[in-house]
Amino acid sequence: MIDVLVVDDDFRVAQVHAGFVELVPGFRVAGRARTAADARAMAAGADLVLLDVYLPDESGLSLLPGLAADVIMATAATDHESVRTAFSHGALHYLIKPFTAAELGERLRAYARYRECLASGGQLRQADVDRALRALHEVPRAAPRPVKGQSPVTSRLVADALRRAGAPRSAVEISDEVGISRATAQRYLASLAQSGRVLVSLRYGSTGRPEHEYAWRVGSSGPAR
């Protein structure tokens, strides 16, 4: 299991990104940090850090070289200097906000392949290093495919209900419409989000407790039949 630390000063954005991480098999959220000081203290317990540039006490770019973990930038900073500095200081990828669960998932799966290429131990050949770098930077979109243990019929019903809605819906709302349990709806919605056909965000109710909501991605192909 790859442990990920999410660093963002906006706790709502951090929760969204943490939710995206949890959608990718083999990854889990080790913690969330809102300041550079917290990130520095918590990074030792993580394998990978999702790092924002804009933090209240220090730029993520100055923080980056000293972190005891690999780093993927997840930030709204789009100036060329920030991008160049991030890579020169060791960032493996640079994701510009806002990004989707599928876009982050592509980078995480590429990172997992990169780690696997370098996990054999011992001395590496040039071919081993080249293979690891290719694995890290080749991030093709995963084609939708059936998930083991899931029914194509139920997947189609969930996808069609969400597409007809024309607006974001929660797992509870989809479960009521399709006639399945909330847990089942959540599982199928997460699968659709991982494939890139569904966008995930957070909804804040009157209690302040957020829940995931899902929206059909415009331009996405229809559900497999």
Report yes or no: 105 and 24 within 8 Å, Cβ to Cβ: yes
CATH for 94: 3.40.50.2300
Cα separation, 73 vs 83, whole angstroms:
9
For residue 183, is it left (φ>0), alpha (ψ between -120 and 50) or beta? Answer: alpha
Name the pTM for this structure. Answer: 0.67
Cis-peptide, bond into residue 98, ω within 30° of zero: yes
Q: Are both 91 and 176 inside the same structural domain?
A: no
Q: Is residue 43 part of a domain?
A: yes
Q: Are both 9 and 94 inside the same structural domain?
A: yes
Q: Is residue 131 part of a domain?
A: no
Q: Are both 9 and 81 inside the same structural domain?
A: yes
Tell me the per-residue pLDDT of 28-74, one tens digit each, with 9 for 90 and over: 999 999 999 999 999 999 999 999 999 999 999 999 998 989 999 99
What does the pLDDT average to over 179-207?
79
Q: Is residue 144 part of a domain?
A: no
Where is the domain boundary, 79, 100, 121? 100
Q: What is the sign of the dihedral through the CA atoms of 62, 107, 216 and 25?
A: negative
Give the domain extent around 48: 2-100
Residue 220 has pLDDT above 80, yes or no: no
Residue 216 has pLDDT above 80, yes or no: yes
Structural domains of the chain, count: 2
Q: Is residue 117 part of a domain?
A: no
Where is the domain boundary, 63, 78, 100? 100
Q: Is residue 180 part of a domain?
A: yes
CATH for 200: 1.10.10.10
pLDDT (0 to 100) of residue 51: 96
Q: Are both 11 and 90 inside the same structural domain?
A: yes
Q: Are both 6 and 96 inside the same structural domain?
A: yes
